[in-house]
Structure 1
Amino acid sequence: MIMKLDTNLEQNRFNMVEQQIRTWNVLDLTILNLLYKVRREEFVPAAYRSLAFADMEIPLDYGAVMLTPKMEARILQELRIKKTDKILEVGSGSGYMTALLAELGAQVYSVEIVPTLCSIAKMNLQTHGITNVTLEQGDAAQGWPQHGPYDVIVLTASTPILPEAFQKSLNPGGRLFAIVGEEPLMEAMLITCVAPNVYETKVLFETCTAPLRNALQPQRFTF
């Protein structure tokens, strides 16, 4: 019986990679192999574990979500993370994306505003023996320059307006991933610091996901 369960689990993981992720033009073998190594189901809340490989966002409570597997993989591919990179993650969630980033880069600084989620992420990372992550509880929705500048910055939730503080926290050559906009239309963007104070923005795709708490809001007219 145990053998049968393990076989089904690995078949579901294989299907996730081949049917969802590869078909979304994620073909980098380093990323694909990483998805087999870091076991996504072990970062998913118990109530949703059967849906760990489904093409859907997983609720984490407190309004937070795990992004879809294909989104997570695409983000990693677009960022072209190097083993020497210092990374800032805004929104630790369950720690899954944190673990993936830690496998690819040198050091990850991950900031989570919800204390309970921060504790869950810390426990998950410790369970998996991941040691090159500094987890901090705080509000990084409008920037987190404390450990900067960074080579890579990832916002794991959306923001109506992207604060300039994130761009200014990039090293030359640094890359920033952010989902910018409001429901029903948001754009996933890759911003590269091509030289000091010079940035290149590439719109990757349209999407929609939960916002960061305390995200920077546009000015709204009142009557």
Structure 2
Amino acid sequence: MNINEPDIYQKARERMVQTQIAARGIKDPRVLAAMLKVPRHLFVEEALKDQAYGDYPLPIGEGQTISQPYIVALMTEALELKGPEKVLEIGTGSGYQAAILAELARWVYSIERYPSLARRAKKILESLGYNNVIIKVGDGTKGWPEAAPFDAIIVTAAGPKIPEPLIEQLKDGGRLVMPVGDEWSQYLIKVTKKGDQLIKENLGAVRFVKLVGEYGFEE
């Protein structure tokens, strides 16, 4: 992180973590520490920097968004990361969620549909020293079979159902978090894989951009 970073952002991050995240029940100390550390304002456009720590999503181009901080924290906490894991992220977007994951896991594999977003995210992550994030451009609904299996999978776009390849690429005992529903009504679903069984938990109503791909929505 830039040591010349204005103190204004440090204070804004502290306020974000206290009022938007901890106050809403996020308890994992590692997640709170990561949210406090990662400079969210570097992942948004220059013109939106003053809004980076607001309690809402922001546009990042290509019709995509950087998720509301609380949702990032909620999804991350649900993955139950302890440190040695290999995580798959579907939808790199700005790269912010990948940076949070990189603080908490050994490896982060991230797939993005839009080359322009992938390039920008890669540049920001590298500039911040996150050398444990691997990004590729492709159809995230197919997962990343060459790097599977994964301890945890996070999908940052909503699909009509959980893509079968992602279930197959999840380790036994692994956790997957994804918004599921149609364009207007979605729920954040956590899946824990226990042998052939999938234990599902509803974490509440959410609103995400559409997951487009072979096992998601059509273009």
If the length of structure 1 is used for normalisation, what is the TM-score? 0.90
Q: Is the 8 A contact 1:87 1:152 kept in 2?
A: yes
Rg (Cα) greater in structure: 1
Query: Are residue 66 (structure 1) and residue 55 (structure 2) matched?
Result: no
Q: Deviations over 1:144-189 (max 9, x none)?
A: 3221111010101111222122111111110001000013210101
Q: SS of the counterpart of 1:70?
A: helix
**Equivalence map 1:1-223=2 (5 Å):** 6-195=6-195, 197-214=196-213, 216=215
User: Counterparts of 1:118 and 1:32 in 2: how far apart (Å)?
Assistant: 26
In the TM superposition, residue 217 of structure 1 has moved relative to its aligned partner by 5.2
5+ residue gaps, structure 2, are none
Q: SS of the counterpart of 1:176?
A: strand
Q: Deviations over 1:40-98 (max 9, x none)?
A: 11111212111100111111111111110000011111111121111111111111111
Stretch of structure 1 that moved more, 104-113 or 5-14: 5-14
Tell me the amino acid that sits aligned with residue 59 of structure 1.
Answer: P
Q: SS of the counterpart of 1:166?
A: helix
Using a 3 Å threshold, how does the CA distance of structure 1 residues 217 and 8 change in structure 2: closer, same or farther? Answer: closer
Tell me the amino acid that sits aligned with residue 117 of structure 1.
Answer: L
In the TM superposition, residue 210 of structure 1 has moved relative to its aligned partner by 0.8
Tell me the amino acid that sits aligned with residue 101 of structure 1.
Answer: L
In the TM superposition, residue 8 of structure 1 has moved relative to its aligned partner by 2.9
Tell me the amino acid that sits aligned with residue 206 of structure 1.
Answer: A
User: Counterparts of 2:29 and 2:51 in 1: how far apart (Å)?
Assistant: 24
4+ runs deviating over 4 angstroms: none
Q: SS of the counterpart of 1:60?
A: strand
User: Counterparts of 1:34 and 1:163 in 2: how far apart (Å)?
Assistant: 28
User: Counterparts of 1:10 and 1:152 in 2: how far apart (Å)?
Assistant: 29
Tell me the amino acid that sits aligned with residue 91 of structure 1.
Answer: G
Kindly, what percent of the aligned residue pairs are identical?
Answer: 33
In the TM superposition, residue 110 of structure 1 has moved relative to its aligned partner by 0.6
User: Counterparts of 2:203 and 2:70 in 1: how far apart (Å)?
Assistant: 13
Q: Is the 8 A contact 1:87 1:109 kept in 2?
A: yes
In the TM superposition, residue 25 of structure 1 has moved relative to its aligned partner by 0.8
- Give the aligned length: 214
If the length of structure 2 is used for normalisation, what is the TM-score? 0.92
Tell me the amino acid that sits aligned with residue 89 of structure 2.
Answer: E
In the TM superposition, residue 213 of structure 1 has moved relative to its aligned partner by 2.6
Tell me the amino acid that sits aligned with residue 55 of structure 2.
Answer: D
In the TM superposition, residue 107 of structure 1 has moved relative to its aligned partner by 0.9
Using a 3 Å threshold, how does the CA distance of structure 1 residues 174 and 24 change in structure 2: closer, same or farther? Answer: same
User: Counterparts of 1:175 and 1:117 in 2: how far apart (Å)?
Assistant: 26
In the TM superposition, residue 214 of structure 1 has moved relative to its aligned partner by 2.6
Q: Is the 8 A contact 2:183 2:210 kept in 1?
A: no
